[in-house]
Structure 1
Amino acid sequence: MKNSQILVLFLIGAVLTITGALFKITNEPKDWTTFFLIIGMTFEAVAAILMLLKLFKKKNNTDSFLDS
């Protein structure tokens, strides 16, 4: 995956997590607030794992990580 695709995954997760947290703060009694938090944090975790895998599988040391 490209860095921009991983960034999009992370941003989607951040938006979902913030949305779920705001609904939790306002004491919204719905079950979908927890669903937003779980799905958002899952997106962020997947993006972090993909970024770490990409960082450790760098082919040559002359290229910068951000160039790919």
Structure 2
Amino acid sequence: MKNPQILILFLIGAVLTVIGAVFKITNERQDITSFFLIIGMTFEAIAGILLIIKLFKKNKSDSFLDS
């Protein structure tokens, strides 16, 4: 994956996590709150794993920011 795609995955996860946290603070329904938190953190974890894989697989001649 390219860097912008990983960044978009992370941003989607961050937005969903913030929405879940706001719902949790305002004592909304627990099922929708847990859903937003779980899905948001899953997106962030996937983006982090993809970023780590990308760092280990990069070529010696390529910079991390070039892709």
TM-score bracket for the superposition, by shorter chain length: over 0.9
1:2-51: CA deviations, max 9, x gaps?
Answer: 10000000000000000000000011134111000000000000000000
Q: What's 1:66 paired with?
A: 65
Pairwise CA RMSD of aligned residues?
A: 0.8
More helix by share: 2
**Displaced runs of 4 or more, over 2 A:** none
Structure 2's unaligned 5+ residue stretches are none
TM-score normalised by length of structure 2: 0.94
**Pair 1:27 & 2:27 matched:** yes
TM-score for the superposition, normalised by structure 1: 0.93
Equivalenced residues, count: 67
| Partner Cα distance (1:19, 1:12) in 2 | 11
Task: Point out where structure 1 has 5 or more consecutive residues left out of the alignment.
Answer: none
